Chain A
């Protein structure tokens, strides 16, 4: 398999599981993030699991100056180019209430940063005539709720961006998969109250890989979140606005 994946936010548990899964298929992986030591450990792990090449590269959603170098690094690889976006940040809503300037960071990490990167990558993918973008949005983006509407709105923006990008790349033989995970067992959800039906990162990664193979457009993972969110989206606003879920 002569394909290359750049994985943005590769230190997260979901991204690690996904990187391992594509490595087992012999892909090249460029592991992008901020914690160099951790990325180096993951790169070694991916090589031993079968990656044709695994390299730690620096990516900070808030420092777009570095993006061009990453795109150039990808172009140096032959064959199909793919990207998987796992970045995002979710400060507690109370922290944002106390300091509204935090909103800029959340939106940059979860939406505009990765969108800007993908916007630079799109022409390269079009020129190669294929490739897949996996974008991790969130069920939190399906409807604004009192608990995390800033994060939710950023992810909703990102999901809409992905939908447009899909429209664009499909014409050039490419594809975009929008992933909406429910609760996943990661450092972000560890010890949070109110968690239920928490999915293992490995299960989410395997769902994503299946969606890539089958060229699905939008997946919820685990699958039942599609139905949970279907209900939540259909609660009439006059009722929803008084609820606390």
Chain B
């Protein structure tokens, strides 16, 4: 059977779709599926909202087209199919001294998904975004297979990088890997007492990989407290073995209630000694800490959750502090909250990054939380920032042009690549991204 009808969801599980899915296991099967026209391609559905959903329509699940096709050690360029997962590439190549140049917070993200969202990692301030390391990619468009690169097709490349899959089906890509010392991470963790220290330490950090965990329930003088993690790759050290666990059922509502989260966060903060510490971790443990717990999204129960992630310019740090203040005093935040400094690197018209600070916080899917996220969104727009399509499930179309000034350029290119709108997904529909104003 080629097409099966199923209910499926984004990672946050707050938004769902019902439609037909096909999952080709070889290239010839993919070509056959696309003979009668383009169909949106999806990967592991690690985008939180509706980027990988097409309610009432069809999607192609690319996860079985996941082969590594070639590697040139002289240039570090890996040719890989779009369904391959970033974590698999890291596991295969770290022992040989190479890593994907940019890795998002989950190793389950596919190469195609990383391109479609132009994702960033803990090294964005040095390495830039994912697509800045894409040398070229093979795209199936309405006109057939196209080789897309910065040099040959600059506009199509910029429309595809972070382009939410709207220019065609990404089949494979050539990625420039980054040399690394080995397959372990040497991580320095230290407590950060408040917001000002957090910002100061992020600004001063010279580490290759830097990320701050924020206790989004701490208020008053402790607002913005957390743990700063700085990492470098290393070799010859033996980290503890990672144990994989699975969340077997949907957690009850009280699992992430205010007092529990506050108690958890306080303990998590004190886990790191006041004097700080340096630990050795497996690569996967540092980059993909939550991948150890399969299906952790079920902790939020049946109704799912939302993640709010925005980036604001450097000069708007005070506005970001106000947003955190509002989050902390709401008592709605979950333990997952991250603060990072971003560099200017971005590869596409709709890429998320800008030089500044990015804050990401998870909230259970409740009316108060949705209301709070809407307020945060307008604060973000006022601060000259933008929200991240990979995480969003609540924004409206009218919010977007102010955040993404290159929207019109993207629309023009997408209209050429997919004139019939065959690739439109729920996210693109919800935000009217392709309706020219």
Contact = CB atoms under 8 A, between A and B. Distances in A.
- Does chain A bind chain B? yes
B92 interface: yes
A190 B4 contact: yes
A190 B23 contact: yes
B69 A38 contact: no
Contacts of B4: 190-191
A42 interface: yes
A191 B3 contact: yes
Interface in A181-217: 186-187, 190-192
A13 interface: yes
A48 B72 CA distance: 11
Interface string B1-20: 11111000000000000000
A44 interface: yes
A44 B70 contact: yes
A94 B102 CA distance: 51
A128 interface: no
Q: Report which residue of B25, B29, B64, B78 has the largest number of chain A beta carbons within 10 angstroms of its beta carbon.
A: B25
A192 B3 CA distance: 10
Given A45-B67, A187-B23, A190-B4, A38 B92 contact: no
B68 interface: yes
B416 interface: no
B87 to A, nearest CB: 13
Contacts of B3: 191
Q: What class of interface size applies to chain A in its complex with B?
A: 10 to 19
A35 interface: yes
A72 interface: no
B362 interface: no
Contact of B25 (A37, A48, A187, A191): A187
Contacts of A226: none
A45 B27 contact: no
Contacts of A44: 67-70
Nearest to A43: B67
Interface in A26-55: 35, 37-38, 41-42, 44-45, 48-50
A48 to B, nearest CB: 4
Interface residues of B, number: 21
B26 interface: yes
Contacts of A13: 25, 64
A82 interface: no
Contacts of A191: 1-5
Nearest to B4: A191
B27 A38 contact: yes
A93 B405 CA distance: 58
Interface string A2-25: 000000000101000000000000
Contacts of A37: 26-28
A190 B3 CA distance: 8
Given A48-B92, A49-B92, A191-B4, A11 B70 contact: no
Contacts of B69: 41, 44-45
B306 to A, nearest CB: 29
Q: Report which residue of A38, A44, A48 has the largest number of chain B beta carbons within 10 angstroms of its beta carbon.
A: A48
Interface string B194-229: 000000000000000000000000000000000000
Contacts of B5: 191
B296 interface: no
A204 to B, nearest CB: 15
Nearest to B95: A50
Contacts of B22: 190
A35 B26 contact: yes
Given A190-B1, A191-B1, A48 B71 contact: yes
Interface string A103-127: 0000000000000000000000000
Contacts of A38: 26-28
B68 A45 contact: yes
Q: Report which residue of A37, A38, A42, A45 has the largest number of chain B beta carbons within 10 angstroms of its beta carbon.
A: A45
B81 A41 contact: yes
B67 A42 contact: yes
B28 A49 contact: no
B71 A35 contact: no
A50 B81 CA distance: 18
Contacts of A45: 67-69
Given A48-B92, A191-B1, A41 B64 contact: no
A213 to B, nearest CB: 19
B175 to A, nearest CB: 13
A186 B70 CA distance: 25
Contacts of B67: 41-42, 44-45
Nearest to A50: B92
Contacts of B25: 11, 13, 186-187
Nearest to A40: B69
Q: Report which residue of A11, A38, A50, A187 has the largest number of chain B beta carbons within 10 angstroms of its beta carbon.
A: A187
Contacts of A190: 1-2, 4, 22-23
Nearest to B93: A48
Nearest to B25: A187
Contacts of A11: 25-26
Nearest to B26: A38
Interface string B61-91: 0001001111100000010010000000000
Contacts of B29: 187
A127 to B, nearest CB: 35
B209 to A, nearest CB: 25
Contact of A48 (B2, B23, B27, B68): B68
A67 to B, nearest CB: 24
Across the A-B interface, the 3 shortest Cβ-Cβ residue pairs: A191-B4, A191-B1, A45-B67
12 contacts: A11-B25, A13-B64, A38-B27, A41-B26, A41-B69, A44-B67, A45-B69, A48-B68, A186-B25, A191-B1, A191-B3, A192-B1
Given A35-B28, A48-B92, A191-B5, 16 more contacts: A11-B25, A13-B25, A35-B26, A37-B27, A38-B26, A38-B27, A41-B69, A41-B81, A44-B70, A48-B68, A186-B25, A187-B23, A187-B29, A190-B22, A191-B1, A191-B3
Interface of A: 11, 13, 35, 37-38, 41-42, 44-45, 48-50, 186-187, 190-192
